[in-house]
Amino acid sequence: MDEFVQKTLAGLVPAQTKGEGPGFRWQWLEQGVIRLTPHSKVTQSLILSAGIHGNETAPVEILSQVLDALWRGDINLCWDVLVVLGNPLALQTGKRYQACDLNRLFGGRWAKLEPGTECARAELLEQVVGDFFANCAPVRWHLDMHTAIRGSLHPRFGVLPARNTAWPAAFLHWLELAGLEALVFHQTPGGTFTHFTAQYYDALSCTMELGKAMPFGQNNLSVFSVTRHALGELLGRGPETLLAQQQPVARCYKVSQQLTRTGEKFILHIPDDTVNFTPFSKGVLLAEDGKNKQVVQQETEYVLFPNPLVAQGLRAGLMLTEIPHPYG
């Protein structure tokens, strides 16, 4: 198990694909997918994923450190855990993706495109997740760790998928303990990995944006120490025991509109050096595609993930409005 990340990055399958660790069993299920099952009965299941984009390496190194701690017996595992390195081929080449963005293909969207590396991977990960949640504990979490190329006024933040019921306080508080300074709440379903696990399996899911995207070997992992510590505490104790009476600290936003590249004439009127969560005033032109124009609709909206280079039909940015904290 201690060679899981190294073997995945090398494109190899280990000679031994199952075994015993301190207090748990482990099994290599697929390239970049391993399951850890505690010997004792547990009521909590967790997907820990990273490397959905191959140029976002720090979360992979964080996962490697957490796995090392489990293997040494530093953490007494109390979750049934599925560890996923999302896009092994992209990680091996250091590219965001090979053919198309894996994090837009979940929920069966892969079936609508020409077969390719990412489509096959999305289909496989959907099957693996379905098998995991069909035979695991009833409390379901999914933490999908990323880093970003673009700077941000909130260096660490979480993006939460659309959900019809209230988010449990334990989940949001843990995200804050993990160092997230802002939480963004989607209002409609999408094609991300976390949308998939939330929509189809009612998992408490979050896309965690943890800082700057850097190549392997160039990450200052001390920057991620808060998140790494919180993961260790979560795996060893569970969410409920971690909650002291703490005041909410994250600023909260909801998605107010999506900027979509609708055609070849699409122009995004947001400068390339704009950082995430930059505010824009009502009436400002954000994007246009011929006669179709999108402007800021509320008094103030904040931009997230602006990218004019996406393929036609995909998201070129999100606009947010600030909302009160659910438990403020």
Residue 56 annotated in ligand binding: yes
Q: Strand 80-85 relative to strand 44-50: parallel, antiparallel, unpaired?
A: parallel
Which class for 112: exposed (0-12), middle (13-18), buried (19 or more C-beta within 10 A)? Answer: exposed
DSSP state of 64: H
Handedness of CA 155, 161, 166, 167 (dihedral sign): negative
Residues 315 and 101 sit within 8 Å (Cβ to Cβ) = no
Which ranges in 213-325 belong to alpha helices (H)? Answer: 225-237
DSSP state of 148: E
Residues contacting residue 70 through CB under 8 Å, at least 6 positions apart: 1, 21, 22, 24, 36, 77, 235
Of residues 118, 126, 176, 209, which has the active-site annotation?
A: 209
Residues 185 and 323 sit within 8 Å (Cβ to Cβ) = yes
Which class for 242: exposed (0-12), middle (13-18), buried (19 or more C-beta within 10 A)? Answer: middle
* Strand segments (E) across 105-152: 139-148
DSSP state of 181: -
Which DSSP helix (H) or strand (E) runs through 5?
helix 4-10
Q: Give me the half-sphere count of Cα atoms (radius 13 Å) on the Cβ side of residue 143.
A: 26
Residue 146 annotated in ligand binding: yes
* Helix, coil or strand: residue 286: strand
Residue 61 annotated in ligand binding: no
* Helix, coil or strand: residue 92: helix
Residues 279 and 301 sit within 8 Å (Cβ to Cβ) = yes
Q: Is 209 an active-site residue?
A: yes
Residue type, 279: P
Binding-site residues for Zn(2+): 53, 56, 146
**Which residues carry out catalysis?**
209
Binding-site residues: 53, 56, 146
